[in-house]
Structure 1
Amino acid sequence: MRFLTAGSRAVLIEVDGLDQVMELHQSLHRSPAPGTVEVVPAATTVLVTFDPAVTTRERLTADIADIADRRPSTVPPSDQGLVEIPVVYDGPDLAQVAHSTGLSIREVVRRHTDARYTVAFGGFAPGFAYLSGLDPLLRLPRRPVPRTRVAPGSVAVADQFTSVYPSRSPGGWHLLGHTETAMWDVERDPPALLVPGRHVRFVQVLV
């Protein structure tokens, strides 16, 4: 774990990978260091902003190191706070994903809906959440040529993640289907439906 200065009111913590990011984020969410304002996870880093009227950078880094040393107990995901996202599996890449993985279309859908996901971090666009927990057999590299436009609500997979496009945008992920559930709504608090640490399950809708 490496601490880096990020402006006058933040510390950037580099770790070895996504598992450590999620573990540290969970620890700092459950037991925030005094003076913490916000904790923002990414793929290999965690950004912690702080109030200099409450703590110093040196004190904060020491507190975070102490919290990180207390290994959190493993708590299996529960249905409390679980976000269920209804999906129609009619995506333009569904058949190609089945072909590339050697699975049937039905098996691709089953494996995508059977998994329990955790929001690892957000990025790319407001409301775009990277969900960890994707079945290893569904892990494919991004498309060699991204689409110039992907419709909002598109449910997709790429690498070790699955996600839902919150708005119309370019994108290189494999599209499995679509949902009508809004990922981003400025009238909602918070606007993002999927925030780091939240558990998610996709539910197939038959049409």
Structure 2
Amino acid sequence: MQPVHVHSLGDTAFSLEFAEDGAAAALAALLGPAGLPGLVELVPTPRALLVIYDPLTTTRAELEPAVLARATQAATEPPPPPRRWVLPVCAEGDFAPDLAEIAAATGLSGDGVLDRLCASPLRVAMLGFLPGFAYLDGLDPALHRPRRASPRPRVPAGSVAIAGARAAVYPAASPGGWHLLGRCPLVLFDPQASPPTPFAAGDQVRFERINAAAFTRLAAEGAKP
């Protein structure tokens, strides 16, 4: 699992680019508990890993060989089992403003769309766009749809959405152009918590349908995954 390219990003970071999806997340999972001196943060994307370090503690010349050695180790060891999360989603009433449109576009019923959304675990490909916004790979191909032609100026926090080949849950209210199929009542980003979001690249997420009464109860409790 050696990178195909290593890019310098100034005197505090470098990135490793891989040929396979998931390689960056696997290396990040291995490096996390390694405790390499001067390592500040790891930011994986589907095929790249950003390595941020403290230049007062280490240098790229010192850190890069240690990271590459871990990459070799990761290629020969089975990856650790992914963490698994179950996220409740309510698709009743105003919680699912695009469900009927997606059902019509796919030839499925509304329940059919939700059944496919909830049928299989999805994989966290990366975090981005908003703090705690997890891009979820593995969406059923029948639900692959282009983004909305006209983005909404405000998408409510907790909105469960699809666009392209991915799903996501908006951790906070923001503009957005994804199709909204339901609402999750859980708190997915808490800046006072450590870590502030439960998700990391490589995790598995499965959606589970709930009714409006369960949504109201979980939201009132401030429940987290």
TM-score normalised by L of structure 2:
0.79
Mapped to 2, the partners of 1:61 and 1:46 lie a distance apart of: 12
Kept in 2, the 8 Å contact 1:126–1:184? The answer is: yes
Give the residue type in structure 2 aligned to 1:9. Answer: T
Q: Does 1:136 align with 2:138?
A: no
User: Where do 1:1-207 residues align within 5 Å?
Assistant: 1-16=4-19, 18-29=21-32, 31=34, 35-52=38-55, 55-70=58-73, 71=75, 72-74=77-79, 77=82, 81-90=83-92, 91-207=96-212
Paired-residue identity, %: 40
Query: What is the Cα deviation at residue 176 of structure 1?
Result: 0.5
CA spacing shift, 1:163–1:86, aligned 2, 3 Å: same
How many Å separate the matches in 2 of 1:187 and 1:27? 26
Give the CA RMSD over aligned residues: 2.4
Q: Match for 1:65: what amino acid?
A: L
Q: Is the 8 A contact 1:22 1:41 kept in 2?
A: yes
Letter in 2 for 1:185: D
Q: Deviations over 1:103-145 (max 9, x none)?
A: 2222211121122123222111122111222222222221122
When residues 160 and 75 of structure 1 are mapped into structure 2, their CA distance, relative to the original with a 3 A threshold, is farther
Q: What letter corresponds to residue 100 of structure 1 in structure 2?
A: A
C-alpha distance in 2, partners of 1:74/1:25?
11
How many angstroms apart in 1 are the aligned matches of 2:79 and 2:196?
Answer: 29
1:20-58 CA-to-partner distances (Å, cap 9, x unmatched) read 333333343365655422111124421111244554312
